[in-house]
């Protein structure tokens, strides 16, 4: 098995060298310049090391340039990603794509190479069936490739929903307070999906002995802090609006809070306390209790009204529900 792995690695290294030489002598200098930058950033020559800052910077300069060079850069990255069956090359390419997205000064980069799959779902990276069966380690890394690609796809989808990148500094809090209730709930839904994807990382992500895996976890951890912040601000804002929400809206908010709460244990296991100190978990817990109490009170009103309606022989009866219990002693979410 060891000899077979060495042979495959040598063949893939040789293939990379041939591709670099071919790009170097290409008559299309502009295209070859982009191709070379991508090949060097994602080459097997550095084995399991993440792309160096120098190599990444070379790609980012192209990716954040004119619309022509941006398009060429993204196209070269997609070609590299979809033409390899090597887990290490795929992870390096995804790290480069991640850097291109997160360090973009505008959403211009996101308008390139985004298309609908044949089924109509967003799937620009399309690595759900990626497998590298060279050996047990690359097979394990393949699960990380699939998860990481799905995570980056969800960032792009959420960008379309929110109107800005959820992994970049969020808009001013005033803009959040200006959102409609339906928009706030929709945005929490998108952020909850991101949190679920992060928490559902494969077992290989927890084994950070591999330098590439370590870099992936580090990058996702940075994003996680921003996503948590956005989620927290929206939970606080909705907490201030609870009394004005309809019963169906309360049900939807509770469902989204349940999704966020369901990620807690896995996220604590993955990141420890590094990004879990902003009060989100406490805010979510208190909101769930408060909404549940409100819904129970609403159901009580409905039952009493129905009972009195029936006892009055179908005539409307004005009923006032007197709650003998003490008022709920629950702090508002905004106090966190």
* φ, ψ at 270 (rounded to 5°): -75, -45
3-state helix, strand, coil in the chain (%, to 5): 70, 0, 30
Q: What is the pTM of this model?
A: 0.80
Residue 314's pLDDT is 52
What confidence tens digit (pLDDT) does each residue in 162-212 have? Answer: 777 787 765 555 588 888 999 999 999 999 999 999 999 988 777 667 888
- State the helix-helix crossing angle for 87-102 and 53-63, rounded to 10 degrees: 60
DSSP codes of every residue in 180-229: -HHHHHHHHHHHHHHHHHHHT--HHHH-TTSHHHHHHHHHHHHHHHHHHH
Domains assigned to the chain: 2-335 (1.25.40.90)
Residue 279's pLDDT is 86
What confidence tens digit (pLDDT) does each residue in 25-60 have? Answer: 555 656 678 888 898 888 876 567 888 899 899 998
Residue 13's pLDDT is 61
What confidence tens digit (pLDDT) does each residue in 244-290 have? Answer: 999 899 999 999 999 999 999 999 888 877 666 778 999 999 999 99
Q: Is the pLDDT of residue 113 over 70?
A: no
């Amino acid at each position: 098995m060891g000899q077979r792995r060495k042979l495959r690695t040598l063949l893939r290294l040789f293939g990379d060298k041939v591709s670099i030489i071919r790009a170097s002598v290409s008559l299309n200098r502009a295209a070859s310049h982009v191709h070379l930058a991508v090949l060097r950033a994602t080459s097997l020559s550095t084995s399991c090391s993440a792309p160096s800052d120098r190599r990444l910077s070379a790609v980012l300069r192209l990716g954040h340039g004119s619309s022509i060079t941006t398009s060429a850069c993204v196209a070269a990255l997609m070609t590299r990603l979809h033409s390899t069956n090597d887990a290490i090359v795929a992870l390096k390419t995804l790290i480069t794509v991640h850097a291109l997205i997160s360090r973009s000064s505008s959403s211009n980069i996101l308008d390139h190479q985004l298309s609908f799959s044949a089924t109509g779902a967003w799937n620009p990276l399309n690595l759900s069936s990626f497998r590298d069966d060279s050996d047990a380690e690359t097979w394990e890394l393949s699960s990380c490739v699939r998860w990481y690609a799905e995570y980056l796809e969800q960032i792009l989808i959420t960008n379309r929903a929110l109107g800005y990148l959820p992994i970049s500094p969020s808009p001013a809090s005033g803009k959040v307070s200006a959102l409609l209730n339906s928009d706030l709930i929709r945005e929490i839904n998108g952020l909850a999906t991101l949190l679920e994807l992060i928490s559902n990382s494969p077992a290989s992500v927890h084994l950070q002995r591999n330098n590439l895996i370590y870099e992936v976890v580090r990058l996702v951890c940075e994003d996680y802090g921003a996503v948590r912040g956005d989620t927290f601000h929206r939970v606080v804002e909705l907490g201030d609006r609870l009394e004005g929400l309809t019963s169906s809206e309360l049900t939807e908010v509770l469902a989204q809070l349940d999704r966020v709460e369901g990620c807690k244990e896995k996220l604590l296991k993955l990141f420890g306390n590094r990004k879990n100190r902003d009060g989100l978990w406490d805010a979510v817990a208190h909101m769930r209790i408060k909404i549940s109490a409100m819904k129970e009170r609403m159901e009580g009103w409905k039952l009493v009204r129905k009972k009195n309606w029936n006892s009055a022989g179908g005539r409307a009866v004005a009923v006032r529900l007197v709650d003998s219990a003490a008022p709920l002693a629950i702090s508002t979410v905004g106090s966190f």
